[in-house]
Chains A and B, each alone.
Chain A
């Protein structure tokens, strides 16, 4: 088989000593970032992105992407630890783990089982997803290679529509964020005519606003301002946690009873994650909902049911793996974290998208193989190092917070050696804090900013080709289907609102906030 041969080649790359070391470093950093509340996987990857430039320069871009992806995997595992032990989610995708993870650890006194079942489910779920990725990514990329400007533009429209239609609390706020991102991306030279625009006479703005300083600001600085505002994070209730052999055996038995649930969540999570714009967070809630729906004893949920830990965790990890699919096959990020990784690809001089499979097979297959290795490594670390991970929570806040500021500044500065980028980071940190507080979703903003230039280019190329006729987007069958899907997705929140209005009068929308 062609795929298996390529995969074997990929393993050859992923298992090279320097790649293994950077993978291990990434996973460990990710675990630490995941455990620390107030620092998420997206900010972790964003802050370390500039370091990856040096890694890419000293080795190859493959090593750099393996490192960044390792952070993602580590953060996926690490976010869970604090959810289960302290009832504080270290990551947004670990929120669903609060429902059953903490009760199992606290009320039923089985923290070891709770932790090991989440780690095991992460690994198994991701394994299913990675196998799917291995066999489907190339096929998807082959299809995508036949896309012209009209089809590509339709893909971008669809990815914005999924961000707005699914999951967003307030669809209009998501619309605003998408358009704001597109607007920010337009600053600088017009990619087609070369006209300067929106620079207001500032030479610094002519080169545009980079998405890296913006993302570091929105996520890194924004998150710590938010946690400085909320405070109360210092409080930690100690639960002694160690994963013993007995716990592992109990977990394995539990997994054997739930293997179909975990497998199904792995597969569903993968496909859900491969929709552009959705990562682990939405996947994890989806998994929890499905597990409850399918369970015979629904009343056990919320009281420490292992299915309520395994299902969301398997789905979350699988979605994270799935979110790499659109990045590799279409050049569209599948989640905010993969949007930042995609930014990395641009910086290292690679063009994300279907041509990667042809021009840089080493990169793609090395990355895919490293997902197998990385998840296994992280799983092993987690099983043995839980007490250490729990210790990270007690890192002194008074040093950690300024340290994050310092690291963010380095990250923003060292890309182009310009203080302008540092200023952008700080400004967007404050903007990001405010948007967060006002409950604006940040993911649409980041994805739109990353995709903005390509969206405009493809739209205008399509219109130039059709002499300005918009019908080009409907006469091409692929783009017609994609646009139709996008319209349906955009209509979903409206239908939901209509239903809610008919169903009851009492519930105000703010109740969900």
Chain B
């Protein structure tokens, strides 16, 4: 790992120790990450810790989970042969506006219909960029 000379030119025979084969560069990158990480950890431990912790309270953490989890679920459902991009994104926008932002249900629904519709017009029709379709395709156009 240290000797660059023995194998500066990659040899075709595998298993030659040392030298610059594919793993040399990632190894040293990772070594630097680890070394710098140790220094950062030591520095952090030597400083006085803040009292309140990383999150203000439990509420902040649950808010975060309530934000991230639906996003992960929605993007998973956007895959081909599941709900597809348009249905899943519409559901996600509606959910977010209604449940998280506490809009009235008809405004939330309006957003959930309008955004996928605009995206459909711009991407599918305008740019001819095809996004993942639902399991109902081609019965429905999305």
Does A pair with B?
yes
> Given contacts A182-B29, A422-B78, A510-B47, is CB(A467)–CB(B129) below 8 Å?
no
Complex CA–CA separation, A399 to B102 (angstroms) = 11
Docked complex: A168-187 residues within 8 A CB-CB of B: 170, 172-173, 175-176, 178-180, 182-183, 186-187
CB B41 to nearest CB in A, in angstroms, measures: 10
Q: Which residues of A contact B136 (CB under 8 A)?
A: none
Complexed CA–CA distance, A414 and B127 (Å): 11
Interface status of A197 (Cβ within 8 A of chain B): yes
Say yes or no: B29 contacts A468, CB within 8 Å.
Answer: no
Q: A197-B26, A419-B78 are in contact. Are A176 and B129 (CB under 8 A)?
A: no
A317→B17 CA distance, assembly (Å): 51
Interface size on A, residues (CB 8 A): 60
A225, A231, A406, A419: which has the most chain B beta carbons within 10 Å? A406
Task: Assess whether B71 is in contact with A426, with CB atoms less than 8 Å apart.
Answer: yes
How far, in whole Å, are A426 and B9 apart by their CA atoms in the complex? 39
A186–B26 contact, CB under 8 A?
A: yes
Interface bits A303-319 vs B (CB < 8 Å: 1, else 0):
00000000000000000
The answer to whether A172 touches B131, judged by C-beta atoms less than 8 angstroms apart, is: no
Contacts of B48 in A (CB 8 A): 508, 510
- Rounded to whole Å, the gap between the CB of B86 and the closest CB of chain A is 10
Is B123 among interface residues, defined by CB-CB distance under 8 A?
A: yes
Q: Which of A335-356 contact B (CB under 8 A)?
A: none
Quote the shortest CB–CB distance from B129 to chain A (angstroms). 5
A298 is an interface residue with CB less than 8 A from chain B: no
Asked if B13 is at the interface of the complex by the 8 Å CB criterion, the answer is: no
| Docked-complex contact A430 and B68, CB < 8 angstroms | yes
Mark out the residues of chain B between 18 and 53 whose CB falls within 8 Å of any chain A CB in the assembled complex.
20-23, 25-26, 29-30, 32-33, 36-37, 39-40, 43, 47-48
Q: Shortest Cβ distance from B50 into chain A, in angstroms?
A: 8
Q: With the chains together, A405 CA to B10 CA distance in Å?
A: 44
Q: Return the chain B residue nearest A186 by Cβ.
A: B26
> Is B5 an interface residue when CB atoms closer than 8 A count as contact?
yes
Nearest chain A residue, comparing its CB with the CB of B38: A172
Alpha-carbon separation in the docked complex, A426 to B115 (Å): 20
- The answer to whether B111 and A399 touch across the interface, beta carbons within 8 angstroms, is yes
B137 in contact (CB, < 8 A): no
Taking the nearest CB of chain A, how far is it from the CB of B58, in angstroms?
A: 13
Closest Cβ of chain B: how far from A118's Cβ, in Å?
Answer: 32
**B-side interface residues toward A, CB under 8 Å?**
3-10, 20-23, 25-26, 29-30, 32-33, 36-37, 39-40, 43, 47-48, 54, 60, 63-64, 67-68, 71-72, 74-75, 78-80, 85, 89, 92-93, 96-97, 100-103, 108, 111, 115-116, 119, 123, 127-132
A-to-B contact residues, CB < 8 Å? 51, 54, 170, 172-173, 175-176, 178-180, 182-183, 186-187, 190, 192-193, 195-198, 221, 225, 228-229, 231, 396-399, 401-403, 405-406, 409-410, 413-414, 417, 419, 422-423, 426, 429-430, 437, 456, 459-460, 463-464, 466-470, 508-510
Given contacts A186-B25, A225-B67, 16 further A-B contacts (CB under 8 A): A170-B40, A172-B39, A173-B36, A176-B37, A182-B32, A197-B22, A197-B26, A228-B64, A402-B89, A402-B92, A406-B92, A406-B93, A406-B115, A414-B123, A422-B75, A468-B7
